[in-house]
Homo-oligomer: A and B are copies of this chain.
Amino acid sequence: MNQSAIARSWVEHANGHRDFPLQNLPLGIFTHKNQAKRCGVAIGDAILDLEGALAAGLFEGQARTAVESTRGGALNAYFALGRVARVALRERLLQLLGEHSEHQAALKPLLLASAECQLHLPAQIGDYTDFYVGIEHAKNVGKLFRPDNPLLPNYKYVPIGYHGRASTIRPSGTDVRRPKGQTLPAGQSEPSFGPCARLDYELELGIWIGQGNEMGESIPVAEAAEHIAGFCLLNDWSARDIQAWEYQPLGPFLSKSFISTVSPWVVTAEALEPFRCAQPARPEGDPQPLSYLLDKRDQAAGAFDIELEVLLLTERMREQNLPAHRLTLSNTLSMYWTVAQMVAHHSVNGCQLQPGDLFGSGTLSGAQPGQFGSLLEITQGGKEPVQLASGEVRKFLEDGDEIILRARCVREGVASIGFGECRGKVLPAR
């Protein structure tokens, strides 16, 4: 990699940082030592207190408007401002945190060690929608039920999605209480009630909605990218045994609504720009998207090439100081629909999107073993347990297990960036 071409920060630990070099600059909401929630930007292992920098008079014009809108402990108003203000803030932050910054003395006291801060949800979530655009996941799951015909007839026409539960979305680090519910034991005709026995994770990309639309209006696919405020990681924890019994005919419900976890930093389209690549051609014979989903600019912009990883750490592995076990190494290139197509589809019926709404991509699996984004796929519904270096095996998650999602964008000649962690540990059922 040609490091010389990569702009550096005077915040030394940011240079070469796994997730948060100068080129990333994601916003988030944090608290420091019992102070009120405020907005910060991640830079290396630190958080720059944006409200402090505002008070120090370091922002003007659009960038100032942007920072002012972040006050109050949630980024909804900032999301609503849209791309122009976001880009202005990014440009100013590149100046302030770049190696030639004239404001190092003023900024140094505003850099807080991330380890001393607590991260929160970046926005108040109005509605949460979970899509199903990971085509390999759809095939993998479909194969468990219909080996010869894994994809349903609508899959290649409709960006399938459904409404999820907003009230139980939590930031990384929140414990996951094992849910209880009804399940139908194998071979039985009557259900039982008790703790979930097939607890699973789902590896997803989260999409934060920026500017919304009025009810009854639609967002054209050509404008849809402008309505996206940023991205995160999302773990759509799933109770497979509850899901199998409850989901007909109206879809998943209590099998998902006990908690969903997001990474707290909002990574922007601008930061991800170097990591887009030409859309992989749809396989021969796949239909063209209907016209309301088709935009040349969207196709030309390319898909996001984001490497996604899932790590498992059991209680015993922590005791034995063993490294986390990698369950999944996948990529957002497996998305059959672009995020612009998801926005256009969601609003084509006049459904109102609002700043701070959250989309999930659906599970992003690859086609090969090692790339599967859930234990359901990895263990083939519990038939092929995972072997761990601790001597343990896992069909599904056990109490004390911790799941860590990570992301990484790598390209020759540019600084790599990541998303930070999306982490959660399973607690026993109450």
Whether B127 lies near A165 (C-beta < 8 A) is yes
Which segment, of A13-21, A214-222, A271-279, A373-381, faces chain B?
Answer: A214-222
Interface segment, one of A79-87, A248-256, A314-322: A248-256
Contact of A180 among B132, B162, B180, B349 (CB under 8 A): B349
> In the complex, which residues 234-263 of chain A have their Cβ closer than 8 Å to any Cβ of chain B?
239, 242, 245-255, 257-259
B216 to A177, Cβ gap below 8 A?
Answer: yes
CA distance A290 to B247 in the complex (A): 18
Instruction: Given A157-B191, A290-B182, A291-B193, decide whether A249 and B152 contact each other with a Cβ distance below 8 A.
Output: yes
Bound: A292/B245 CA distance, A: 17
CB contacts (< 8 Å) of A189 on chain B: these are 153
CB-based contact A161/B250 at 8 Å = yes
| Complexed CA–CA distance, A216 and B167 (Å) | 12
Contact across chains for A349 and B257 when beta carbons are under 8 A apart: yes
Is B167 a contact of A164 with CB atoms below 8 Å? no
* A346 proximal to B (CB < 8 A): yes
**What are the interface flags for A108-141 relative to B under an 8 Å C-beta threshold, 1 for contact and 0 otherwise?**
0000000000000000001100101000000000
User: Could you tell me which residues of chain A, from 309 to 349, have a CB within 8 Å of some CB in chain B?
Assistant: 345-346, 348-349
Interface: A166 (CB within 8 A) = yes
Copies of this subunit: 2
Which residue in B130, B157, B165, B184 is a CB contact (below 8 Å) of A182? B157
- Output the nearest chain B residue to A192 by Cβ-Cβ distance: B290
Interface size on A, residues (CB 8 A): 64
Complex partner residue of A348 from B180, B190, B249, B292, CB under 8 angstroms: B180
Is the CB–CB distance between B349 and A254 below 8 Å?
yes
CA of A314 to CA of B349, assembled, Å? 23
Q: Is A354 an interface residue (CB 8 A)?
A: yes
Given contacts A127-B165, A215-B258, 12 further A-B contacts (CB under 8 A): A126-B166, A127-B167, A130-B250, A152-B248, A158-B246, A160-B250, A177-B216, A177-B350, A180-B349, A215-B259, A254-B348, A258-B349
Q: Which residues of A approach B to under 8 Å, CB–CB?
A: 126-127, 130, 132, 152-154, 157-158, 160-168, 170, 177, 179-182, 184, 189-191, 193, 215-218, 239, 242, 245-255, 257-259, 287, 290-292, 345-346, 348-354, 357, 430
**A-B contacts, 8 listed (Cβ < 8 Å):** A162-B250, A163-B257, A167-B215, A167-B357, A179-B350, A191-B290, A218-B430, A250-B251
